[in-house]
Chains A and B, each alone.
Chain A
Amino acid sequence: MHEWTLLDAAKAVRDKEISSRELTRALLSRIERINPKINAYVTVLPEAAMREAAARDEEIARGIVRGPLHGVPVAIKDIFCTKGIRTTCASRILKDFDPPYDATVVERIRSAGAVLLGKQNMDEFAMGSSTEMSCFGPVLNPWATDRIPGGSSGGTAAAVAAGTCFAGVGTDTGGSIRQPASLCGVVGMKPTYGRVSRYGMIAFASSLDQGGPIARTVPDAAAVLSVIAGYDRRDSTSVDVPVPDYVAATERGVKGMRVGLPREYFAEGVDDSVRTAVTKALTSLISLGAEAVEISLPHTGYALSTYYIIAPAEASSNLARYDGVRYGYRAAGAKGLIEMMSRTRAEGFGEEVKRRVMIGTYALSAGYYDAYYGKAQKVRTLLRRDFNEAFDHVDVILTPTAPTPAFRVGEKVDDPLTMYLSDIYTIPANLAGIPGISVPCGMSPDGLPIGAQLLGKHFDEESLLAAAAVIEREIPLPRVAPLEG
């Protein structure tokens, strides 16, 4: 039953065809068998999950259905604070951190009735594109375990693809939901900035971070989004816009939809297999009544540079609180305060985090602010403008999610700049704050999944879900990785 869709599983529990305990037990045992092969979970909660499942079953017996995820086992990236459950961000500096509160996303999936199976592996503090930067070791791609799953929500994407949960919630700062979803052959959506509360989601780059669903089908992703979306007074950047019926939107079709194809995204550097698969996705949209429009997003080439100033700058400040004073790791035997803090941070953070903290600190420091951070903020305006102008002519934009299928473990670890290029197509959406989704649209000749990315207007997640659902229906692909076990 691990290959069921989330919506089917939810229906089966509601219809009392299966108990939440049976479902949960099945997935826990699959985790036990599969997880050692892919390292997708950092914390599994067998007792707590079974307790929750039993409580959900009891409610069902009394005719109570908490919400659309009632009794369904899901899991979340270990970046969301969970009260009483360690939350690590895959960092040594937070290895034993036990949050005093639940993130809003956690509250919402719980009140929708979901059963929490565990917390998923990730790149440390969400900084990475391969989930190799984790203090718990790398996550491996369930389709080919010599490959990376993408990142930073690689644990969540791999766990979903491996059938070890019905869906998960990840976070996306520069592509961290969409890129691993693409590389693992699952659906991942980064909603509009402000759509999903960031309260309790450990910050990487506050003006870019956004939580979103990873699932095996578009309607499943829509169901999870319906649960986690919505205004939260605890997050000042949360936007008070009503939450539509996202699941219904997946049935809308694409008749008359104008699909923009930005020429900058199909230039050199795109793997042939990716180009072929994305073209197939386009064909499927056109065959159902969509219209292709060639567009230009002229500043695309500057997005990566802009991102690698803004994200590290914000991160350098967000990660300054890990100083060994109130929680987390503290270096032993330091002589004074400054030494304690400096050694705590040097020993507690991994290489990639330190690199970005350094870039960010440098970009904000006296004498460099205008040349780096100030400049990047201005280019961010230009990138937003590109999208605004494009959306005068089109409803959605179609691009590859990543330039290549999953690369090999270790291939780019020592070459930060090349690693950063994996996010070249996903980063602009974060800078502009617009929603984006990655949906599987093909397989490479080596059997590696390929995703298509759809980008939309602010708060128009519905068009993305409608178009992604068409691609999903038109291009049938296996949903669960053929892992033995």
Chain B
Amino acid sequence: MAITREEVLHVARLARLSMSPAEADKMREQLDNILAYIRQLDRLDTADVVPTSHAVEMGTPFRDDSVHPFEEKEEILKNAPDREGDFFRVPRIIED
């Protein structure tokens, strides 16, 4: 089951990566190779295996519900590619 060009474009859209048709073709070929290699996992029977999502086996630690305001708001905002006052400014959503 090779990955199709349509799937590549769909995934690129999900990942918000604009891609020319030529790039999509190259990407399709590379992903196909990698996925073919990865699918060797299909050979393993893992029906009774529990998944591991963390390398550490413990409960998540908690913090107390106390407020410590971050005082240097400008240090965050100054990185904005575009802003209006203390807002981040972005182009408007255009329906397609």
Contact = CB atoms under 8 A, between A and B. Distances in A.
Interface of A: 83, 96-98, 100-101, 193-194, 207-208, 233, 236-237, 239, 299, 301-302, 304-306, 308-309, 316, 320, 323-330, 334-343, 345-346, 349, 354-355, 357-359, 361-362, 365, 371-372, 374-382, 384, 416-417, 420, 431-433
Contacts of A305: 37-41
B12 interface: yes
Contact of B3 (A208, A362, A377): A362
B34 interface: yes
Nearest to A308: B38
A387 to B, nearest CB: 11
Contact of B60 (A194, A236, A337, A338): A236
B41 A375 contact: yes
B93 interface: yes
Contact of A355 (B3, B31, B58, B60): B31
B18 interface: yes
14 contacts: A100-B70, A100-B75, A194-B56, A208-B55, A308-B34, A328-B81, A330-B82, A335-B91, A338-B16, A339-B94, A354-B27, A355-B31, A357-B17, A433-B56
B18 A329 contact: no
A379 B34 CA distance: 18
B18 A346 contact: yes
B22 interface: no
Chain A binding surface SS class: helix
A171 B54 CA distance: 18
B81 A358 contact: no
B31 to A, nearest CB: 6
Contacts of B2: none
Interface string B4-29: 00011001111111110000000100
Contact of A239 (B56, B80, B81, B94): B56
Given A329-B81, A346-B17, A358-B17, 17 more contacts: A299-B44, A309-B38, A320-B15, A335-B91, A336-B96, A338-B93, A338-B96, A339-B18, A340-B90, A342-B13, A345-B17, A346-B18, A358-B12, A362-B7, A372-B38, A378-B51, A379-B44
Given A330-B82, A372-B38, A382 B90 contact: no
Chain B binding surface SS class: loop
A309 B41 CA distance: 10
A359 B17 CA distance: 13
A191 to B, nearest CB: 12
Contacts of A375: 41-42, 46
Contact of A330 (B41, B53, B55, B81): B81
Interface string B54-96: 1110101101000000101001101111100000101111101
Nearest to B54: A207
Given A207-B54, A237-B56, A433-B56, A361 B15 contact: yes
B44 to A, nearest CB: 6
Contact of B79 (A328, A372, A378, A382): A328
A377 B90 CA distance: 37
